[in-house]
Amino acid sequence: MRQLGELEAKIMHRLWAWGRPATARDVLTDINKQRPLAYSTVKTVADILHHKGMLKRRKEGRAWVYEPTCTRQQYTAALMQQALGGNPDPAGTLVSFVEQMTPDEADALRSALRAVKRRSEA
């Protein structure tokens, strides 16, 4: 899995935040609140995301309706796994990562590790 480009990320973040399928027109309307883009640009990038496997789509009338194939958390975890897997020193990478965490992020990591440990003991 590769990191998303700027417009790809804008589209995915909206779909993840909305938690519902949407058309390219829906996404365009929201993006245009911040900067003007052409419909064809958003439609093309949504189609690219579909072909990359990030979005699934179905036809409703004349429009395609798009929906993420993974959650934001799953996508982020895949990027993290890729970074660790391609590194000859994953422990060192994790130490550097943890050193850069905020206290809230460190608390979230501890909570996640406890949850995984509980599941493995069950």
pLDDT tens-digit map of 38-69? 999 999 999 999 999 999 999 999 999 999 99
Q: What is the DSSP letter of 3?
A: P
Task: Indicate whether this model's pTM tops 0.85.
Answer: no
Residue 61's region, left for phi above 0, alpha for psi from -120 to 50, else beta, is left
Give SS3 for 56.
strand
Is 45 within 8 Å of 7 (Cβ atoms)? yes
* Rg of the Cα atoms in the chain: 18
Q: Which residue type is seen at 24?
A: A
Residues in Cβ contact with 45 at an 8 Å cutoff, skipping those fewer than 6 apart:
5, 7, 8, 11
Residues 76-110 pLDDT 10s: 999 989 888 878 998 898 999 999 999 999 999 99
Q: Once rounded to an integer, what is the mean pLDDT over residues 26-48?
A: 97
**DSSP letter, residue 53:** T
